[in-house]
Amino acid sequence: MTTSTVPALPDGVTVPALRALALSLATEAGDVIRTLRPERVTVAATKSSDVDPVTAMDRAVEELLVARLTTERPEDAILGEEGDDVPGTSGLTWVVDPIDGTVNYLYGVAAYSVSVAVVAGPPDPAEWTVLAGCVHDVVADRTWSAGLGEGATLDGVPLPPVEPAPLARSLVGTGFGYAASRRAAQARVLTQVLPHVRDIRRLGSAAIDLCLVAQGSYDLYYERGLNPWDMAAGSLIAEEAGARVVGLHGAAPGVTVTVAGRGPALDQLVGLLEAADADAPDGA
Ligand code: IPD
Ligand code: CA
């Protein structure tokens, strides 16, 4: 649990109420995805590159989330991965990823999630305060949630404290971007991390990756190029479970590089990534 101060909220709004709404939205969306996933999923469009797909379900679930939010919280803004952005007047923004792990969803690999968070301040990881968040793992039907200063839970049960592991025995999650030049740079950085750790995992859903750090299933996680919706809910869940979520060179975590973990191993991983120039320009 963090001791972060909750900023002034609009009248009648509380962190527990926001958390309950995030949980209800993410689990309802997850039920829809589980029930309606067709046997054969097809690509509806591509985004940042030919290998960055969007499916009809990504769009339908974002529409569902936006419809629910505009009814329940009409004064709040919405920032969604599929672009259904809505302006607001309350100073709060819902940051939503209808399917985090779309490539897994497309191929039927069992690691994709719905991520719903609400932030105060600009919806930018360098400036926001995440108030509440929920990540629902669709296939496993498990749900992590957190509220600022309230701790983090898995299926309603508080996550227990996790003992930090030494770097050499750390299981490290990571991910890769969709641009070829970024991937080449990420592969180079990986060669400088892998010799120092137990092993690497590339699950394909950054939101679940951060929750795995929260519950201690991963010791560490790092990735370059996350978008706000990939990390909003998961970063709060990790921090409320006692992990630290940081950037390189003292910067905030965010689109450049996000690193999560505990103890000295986290600082050592940051050191390895800085030495490998993991945030150097890569043409993406
Ligand atoms: C992606 C996943 C993946 C991460 C990428 C993200 P998407 O989100 O979180 O694990 O490596 O950086 O873009 O495209 O499946 O919503
Ligand atoms: Ca995503």
Nearest atom, ligand 1, residue 112 CA: 15
What CATH number did the domain enclosing 128 receive? 3.30.540.10
- Count of the separate structural domains present in the chain: 2
| HEC profile of the chain | CCCCCCCCCCCCCCHHHHHHHHHHHHHHHHHHHHHHCCCCCCCCEECCCCCCEECHHHHHHHHHHHHHHHHHCCCCEEEECCCCCECCCCCEEEEEEEEECHHHHHHCCCCCEEEEEEEECCCCCCCCEEEEEEEEECCCCEEEEEECCCEEEECCEECCCCCCCCHHHCEEEECCCCCHHHHHHHHHHHHHHHHHCCEEECCCCHHHHHHHHHHCCCCEEEEECCCHHHHHHHHHHHHHCCCEEECCCCCCCCCCEEEEECHHHHHHHHHHHHHCCCCCCCCC
pLDDT at 195: 98
Q: Is the CB of 100 under 6 A from ligand 1?
A: yes
The pLDDT value recorded for residue 217 is 98
Q: Is the CB of 101 under 6 A from ligand 1?
A: yes
| Residue at which a domain ends, from 98, 133, 158 | 158
In a domain, 280, yes or no: no
Determine contact, residues 196/168, Cβ cutoff 8 Å: yes
- For residues 116 and 19, membership in a common domain is answered with yes
55, 205, 208: residue to mutate for ligand 1 pocket, most atoms within 8 A of CB: 205
Supply the pLDDT for residue 28: 98
CB of 80 closer than 8 Å to CB of 66:
yes
pLDDT at 3: 80
Indicate whether 130 and 179 sit together in one domain: no
Is residue 53 lining ligand 1, measured as CB closer than 6 Å?
A: no
- Structural domain includes residue 95: yes
- pTM of the model as a whole: 0.97
Same domain (yes/no): 176, 101 = no
Decide whether any atom of ligand 1 lies within 6 Å of the 80 Cβ: no
d(CA 162, CA 35): 34
* Residue pair 128/119 in contact by the 8 Å Cβ criterion: yes
Residues 6+ apart with CB under 8 A from 91: 10, 120, 121
Nearest of 167, 115, 164, 133 to residue 271 by alpha carbon: 167
In a domain, 2, yes or no: no
Neighbours of ion ligand 2 (CB under 5 A): 97, 100, 230
Q: For residues 247 and 143, state if they share a domain.
A: no
- In a domain? residue 281: no
Domain containing 95: what range? 15-158
Of 106, 141, 158, the one marking the end of a domain is: 158
* Per-residue pLDDT tens listing for the chain (284 residues): 788 789 999 999 999 999 999 999 999 999 999 999 888 888 999 988 899 899 999 999 999 999 999 999 999 999 999 887 899 999 999 999 999 999 999 999 999 999 999 999 999 999 999 999 999 999 999 999 999 999 999 999 999 999 999 999 999 999 999 999 999 999 999 999 999 999 999 999 999 999 999 999 999 999 999 999 999 999 999 999 999 999 999 999 999 999 999 999 999 999 999 999 999 999 99
Q: Which of 47, 62, 100 to mutate to test the pocket of ligand 1 (most atoms within 8 A of CB)?
A: 100
From residue 266, how far is each of 25, 67, 164, 216, 245 by CA, in Å? Answer: 32, 39, 9, 13, 9
Ligand 1 atom at minimum distance from 103 CA: 15
Quick check: 255 and 248 in contact, CB under 8 A?
A: no
Atom of ligand 1 nearest to the CA of 97: 16
